[in-house]
Amino acid sequence: MSVNVDPKPTRNTGVLPFYRFLAKHPRDPVAAFEEVGAQAGGRIVQLNMGPFRPYLVTHPDHVQHVLRNNQPNYVREGMFWDPLVPLLGDGILSDGEHWQESRRVLQPLFTAKYVESLADRMAEIITEQIDAVVRPGEPFDVVDGISAIVHPTIVRLFFGDRISSGDIARLIPAYEVAVTATWPRLLMPFVPNSVPLPGDRAFRRSIDTINTVVYPRVHEARRTATEGKDVVSAICRARADDLGERGDRRIRDDMVSMHGASTETSATALTWVWVALDAYPDLAERIYKELDEVVGTEPVRPSHLPELRYLKMFLSELVRLYPPGWILPRKAVETDEIDGVTIKAGSTVMISPYLTHRIEEFWDRPEEFDPERFAPERERDRERRHRWSYFPFGGGPHKCLGQHLFMMEAQLLMASLLSRYRPVITATRPVRPRLASSLRPNQKVKLTLVERNRT
């Protein structure tokens, strides 16, 4: 395969014709993106997307520069973020002063200790949801089914008993639309927001639904938040001085942003689990064996989790190959230079864990799904690995707040399902990622959960 890379005056860069790659893979835009990454080979390149020419930054040194060393210069604004402002508002997923304030309020809520204190409740909710959603022996749509377990779990942790099942059922499709309806803007980020695109109306309707559900919960939590262990009560206590409409709006923005950041990413990651289990039966067997030894026929308890070592390695590898936050766009505030390449003020920089996790210089056999990379006995390999060659949860000041929560939720959910059922997958063609704001499968993945004989 040979592609022309136009030489550019600055060192270490080139321009890659993104739409030409896209035309080559009309049904698989992610393959086009992978090819771009392979061509870039860790160099900073510009992607020619018509009038829009973002810089693609994949080398771990360069990623570190953008996300940590010179982070204040690379803000979450610009063509990718702006369309999401009506949904996310001005809180933890924004930048600058408001983000800093939200981070100060939210960070103490997501320490390992606090998350562990939620474990028993989370285990209970997950079991209830599995009982409600799984019909043994009947087809189970992975995207819908996992979402139907993950969303209520997170919503109940966030809102406690303040939210009804009916409202949860309204929120799930609204978020689904909100994160998928903006994909045309992702592919054509140069189209101004004032020009309508398909999906815009559905996006606005989904925000109305979300606001109709979330605001009353915020108002109620403000009135009664004294003891509640749920997240909205804790935020209300932390923002007790920030009253009135503005204060309500800030709490709404953080709740909605966190909901978006947590459910979509977790559900997406947990969708790929089944694809990987199906593709690698020998690895699946290891997970089943570990679950038999550690959990057996008991209900899964948080105390089992530290013993589920292989499951944890499997999940770490899963988010290497399928990081749900596959692209992290930034806007350069001032002109900067990265490794000899000039990044002009106002330009877009795209960081991609998906591509960095596949660079051969840093990963042996990068395309191979191999949980052994994360084996505790290979600690020394990890120490030698570049710190920024693996960042499924981002890094620097914007690092994900929910990493512990996700690991706990994923282990509890997988252990609870797989200690009771064996999955049999039916997919008509190879499952590939598709382009959306998170890395979802390109087709419906159906499976049947067959009850295990647990004598």
Binding site for ligand HEM (CB under 6 A): 76, 92-93, 103, 110, 258, 261-262, 265-266, 269, 319, 323-325, 328, 392-394, 398, 400-402, 405-406
**How do 446-451 and 139-141 pair as beta strands?**
antiparallel
Of 18 and 158, nearer to ligand HEM (C-beta) is 158
Of 371 and 392, nearer to ligand HEM (C-beta) is 392
CB 97 within 8 A of CB 72: no
**How do 440-441 and 446-451 pair as beta strands?**
unpaired
Of 16 and 405, nearer to ligand HEM (C-beta) is 405
Identify the bridge partners of residue 424 per DSSP, sorted by sequence position: 448
CB of 3 to ligand HEM, least distance (A): 29
Of 265 and 411, nearer to ligand HEM (C-beta) is 265
- Report the C-alpha gap between 192 and 189 in whole angstroms: 8
One DSSP character per residue, 216-244 reads: HHHHHHHHH-SS--SHHHHHHHHTTTS-H
- Report the C-alpha gap between 295 and 401 in whole angstroms: 29
CB of 326 to ligand HEM, least distance (A): 9
Q: Give the SS3 label for residue 6.
A: strand
CB 252 within 8 A of CB 244: no
CB of 391 to ligand HEM, least distance (A): 7
CB of 260 to ligand HEM, least distance (A): 9
Residue facing ligand HEM at closest CB distance: 402
CB of 452 to ligand HEM, least distance (A): 27
Return the structure tokens found at 196: 């309508």
Of 16 and 93, nearer to ligand HEM (C-beta) is 93
Of 232 and 258, nearer to ligand HEM (C-beta) is 258
Tell me which amino acid residue 419 is: S
CB of 201 to ligand HEM, least distance (A): 27
Alpha-carbon distance values, 211 to 89, 204, 248, 252, 256 (Å): 11, 11, 11, 8, 9
CB of 110 to ligand HEM, least distance (A): 6
Q: Which residues contact 380 (CB under 8 A, 6 or more apart)?
A: none
Of 22 and 351, nearer to ligand HEM (C-beta) is 351
